[in-house]
Amino acid sequence: AQSVTQPDIHITVSEGASLELRCNYSYGATPYLFWYVQSPGQGLQLLLKYFSGDTLVQGIKGFEAEFKRSQSSFNLRKPSVHWSDAAEYFCAVGGYNNNDMRFGAGTRLTVKP
């Protein structure tokens, strides 16, 4: 069964600094990978996804993620964080045979002024 691990529960970065959120997955075949962001009291907004092809994926709001099969990772990056990026970030994996995604526990991002 697929699973996702987000090792960092909470990360604090200064505004303007770079950001990397870690995600490791477990899945027997080619995974379908997603990053979502959730602001307090809100639903989840899709940042980016990886289905196949180029392993470096560009998303919205200046985010990107790189799929590394050898490391079973799909880390999310942003070169310069803005205060509005403060939120909770979820990595998710889905398998081809079903539409039930497995989510990581989430990483809460705090941005210092």
Residues near another protein, by CB under 8 A: 32, 34, 36, 41-46, 49, 90, 92, 94-106
Please, are residues 10 and 106 in contact by the beta-carbon 8 Å criterion? Answer: no
Task: Give the residue with the Cβ less far from another protein, 81 or 109.
Answer: 109
State the Cα torsion 10-75-35-100 to the nearest 10°.
-100
Smallest gap from Cβ 14 to another protein, in A, equals 27
CA 35, CA 112: separation in Å to the nearest integer?
22
Q: What distance lies between CA 7 and its chain's CA centroid?
A: 12
What is the phi/psi pair of residue 23, to 5°?
-145, 125
Smallest gap from Cβ 1 to another protein, in A, equals 11
Smallest gap from Cβ 44 to another protein, in A, equals 4
Task: Give the residue with the Cβ less far from another protein, 50 or 81.
Answer: 50
Task: Give the residue with the Cβ less far from another protein, 62 or 95.
Answer: 95
